[in-house]
Structure 1
Amino acid sequence: MKRFFFILSLMCILMASFAVPVFATEKEGSITKQEQQQIINVAHRGASAHAPENTMAAFQKAVEMKSDYIEIDVQMTEDEELVVIHDTTVDRTTNGTGAVGDLTLEEIRMLDAGSWFSEEFAGEKIPTFEEVLDAFRGKVGILIELKSPGLYPGIEEEVAETLKERNMDRANNEKIIIQSFNHESMKQSKALLPEIPHGVLAGTSWADVTDEQLAAFATYADYFNPNQNIVTLELVNRVHVAGMQMMPYTSRSQEQADRLFHLGVDGIITDYPEHVYNHPVKNN
């Protein structure tokens, strides 16, 4: 009888140990090579610290720097063509002026999107979504941000159709993620592309996100990607408990990347891909 109760007690202890959720703990100092390799390195608008953002040059540089993903911003022209640019106007990153949605693709293709960064990149063009997909699929993952989709009715369908035409809408692809600050847009996109991971972007106003809100996001999103300034160890753990991963944006210094490493995030969206690889690594 004593043997029976001993075995029963042992089984209860083992079952309890498996029931306890595993939480991230803040790491100190260097990390292992394995831990470093598990961090998803996302080049923000390409390697945008080294080449003009959202251009083929920036994306190619990110590939050369061995990023896991390039992050691109997708909008729509007046003639309903998908183009890759961050701002809703062309003023900041080209030699032109005006809203992206008020210009035709032909007009946008005439703009210089590189000289503002450096004369070395003079003549760089705003690429189309199709050009980026065709040039980089199979070479690097692509994190697609739908930028201000409320300005472009139907953009979710256009993006979905473009991916489907290339058989890039399948779960075994594992190299496409779609995200947006517009969470309703992500619900629509997930319905169109159920096998593709989706993410919700969260600004600083989401610092006090509740568990209920995270659970609601998790019904259609695989990632909760917040502004790095609101990331805490507690938030990382709560996102993981909700069944999502976290890739904060936008790291622009080694110190910022190191902090995110220590908090146990799943990936880092950065202008400097080298920062993700420069974190001190200890020998196993």
Structure 2
Amino acid sequence: MNMKTILGTGLALTVLLSPFQEAAASGNVTTGDLRKIDNVAHRGATGYAPENTIAAFDKGVEMKSDYIEIDLQRSKDGELVIIHDTTVDRTTDGTGFVKDLTLDQLRQLDAGSWKGEEFTGEQIPTFDEILDRYRGKVGILIELKAPELYPGIEEQVANELKERNLHIPQNNKIIIQSFNFESVKKIDQLLPQVPVGVLTSSRAHITPEALQEFSAYAEWFNPNYGLVSKDLVRQIHELDMKIGSWTVRSQEAADFLIDMGVDAIITDYPDYVDPRK
């Protein structure tokens, strides 16, 4: 498969003020420019609803995001579920590793009340639930989270997509990414028509040699925004890849990435990327 479409996830690194000042000095960005940038709701619109829940994904759709980004793991009894951390401790009222809990145990957890009383009772969604609810409505950026913990998860994901004919081009509305490059390569082999992306926050991965290697199998290079520069964007485009950067949690960061000329912005706040939201 060769050069298709996207992205990234995770915690943002600190970015010095000077690049943002440069962006501000460059002038206003037009609505036409904004339409060229894919607006990706990070774990849903998590600035407004609890991450990786139906409430957050619905909010992302309501705000007219181009994609929702989801984190994929697997339960003890083999079901694919949507949650970021390898444990349930931070975002639910439960404790323990995702891989050690059955789907029934995971579904009994409250994954919303930590964000606000109005979200009490939000559940951890399943992968098939997300595919069936949102396909055709919004693009889905799938991150394989810690796939090394879940042998065979790539084949499982591929089968779920094939059952719904989502393994063939659909305006590049399904993209799969991971920090685990071997997993990305495996997905590329299993689903040659689906765009794949590599995620990174390491400067070791932005050398010309590293970028050349990624371009052999990935359509997207998705770094933390602390790594982004106009020169990096130029190099990625010259290799026929696209760049999606994360995680935007301020207007300043959004403006910086727009000025840098990235292809996609992964954000907790879709309205920071496009005021029309």
Q: Same fold (TM over 0.5)?
A: yes
- 1:154 and 1:196 map into 2 onto residues whose CA distance is 18
Residue 241 (structure 1) aligns with: 238
Identity %: 60
Equivalent in 261, 267, 273 of residue 264 of structure 2 = 267
- 1:277 and 1:28 map into 2 onto residues whose CA distance is 18
1:213 paired with 2:210, answer yes
How far has the Cα of 1:172 moved from its partner?
Answer: 3.7
| Structure 1: runs of 5 or more not aligned | 1-24, 280-284
- 1:207 and 1:48 map into 2 onto residues whose CA distance is 30
Residue 193 (structure 2) aligns with: 195
Residue 89 (structure 1) aligns with: 87
Residue 253 (structure 1) aligns with: 250
- What SS class does the counterpart of residue 49 from structure 1 fall into? coil
1:142 paired with 2:150, answer no
- 1:99 and 1:231 map into 2 onto residues whose CA distance is 33
Equivalent residues in 2 for 1:1-284 (5 A)? 28-203=26-201, 205-206=202-203, 209-278=206-275
Residue 22 (structure 1) aligns with: none
Aligned 8 A contact 1:73 1:147 in 2: yes
CA 1:226–1:192: 2 relative to 1, 3 Å: same
C-alpha offsets along residues 2-33 of structure 1, whole Å, 9 cap, x if unaligned?
xxxxxxxxxxxxxxxxxxxxxxx978121222
Q: Which amino acid aligns with 2:97?
A: A
- What SS class does the counterpart of residue 242 from structure 2 fall into? coil
Residue 14 (structure 1) aligns with: none
C-alpha offsets along residues 90-133 of structure 1, whole Å, 9 cap, x if unaligned?
00000000000000001001000001111100000000000001
How far has the Cα of 1:278 moved from its partner?
Answer: 2.6
Q: Which amino acid aligns with 2:264?
A: G
Aligned 8 A contact 1:257 1:275 in 2: yes
Q: Which amino acid aligns with 1:123?
A: G
How far has the Cα of 1:186 moved from its partner?
Answer: 0.1
Q: Which moved more, 1:168-177 or 1:216-225?
A: 168-177
C-alpha offsets along residues 199-234 of structure 1, whole Å, 9 cap, x if unaligned?
00011x236622121111111100000000110111
How far has the Cα of 1:162 moved from its partner?
Answer: 0.3
Structure showing greater Rg: 1
How far has the Cα of 1:173 moved from its partner?
Answer: 4.4
Give the count of matched residue pairs.
254
- What SS class does the counterpart of residue 195 from structure 1 fall into? coil
- 1:174 and 1:200 map into 2 onto residues whose CA distance is 16
- What SS class does the counterpart of residue 237 from structure 1 fall into? helix
- 1:165 and 1:47 map into 2 onto residues whose CA distance is 28
- 2:68 and 2:205 map into 1 onto residues whose CA distance is 29
Q: Which amino acid aligns with 1:245?
A: K
Aligned 8 A contact 1:76 1:101 in 2: yes
Q: Which amino acid aligns with 1:230?
A: L
CA 1:151–1:208: 2 relative to 1, 3 Å: closer
- What SS class does the counterpart of residue 140 from structure 2 fall into? strand
- 1:42 and 1:83 map into 2 onto residues whose CA distance is 20
Q: Which amino acid aligns with 2:165?
A: N
Q: Which amino acid aligns with 2:145?
A: K
Q: Which amino acid aligns with 2:114?
A: W
C-alpha offsets along residues 225-251 of structure 1, whole Å, 9 cap, x if unaligned?
000011011111111111110010000
Aligned 8 A contact 1:207 1:230 in 2: no
Q: Which amino acid aligns with 2:143?
A: E
Residue 5 (structure 1) aligns with: none
- 2:76 and 2:205 map into 1 onto residues whose CA distance is 38
- 1:262 and 1:50 map into 2 onto residues whose CA distance is 25
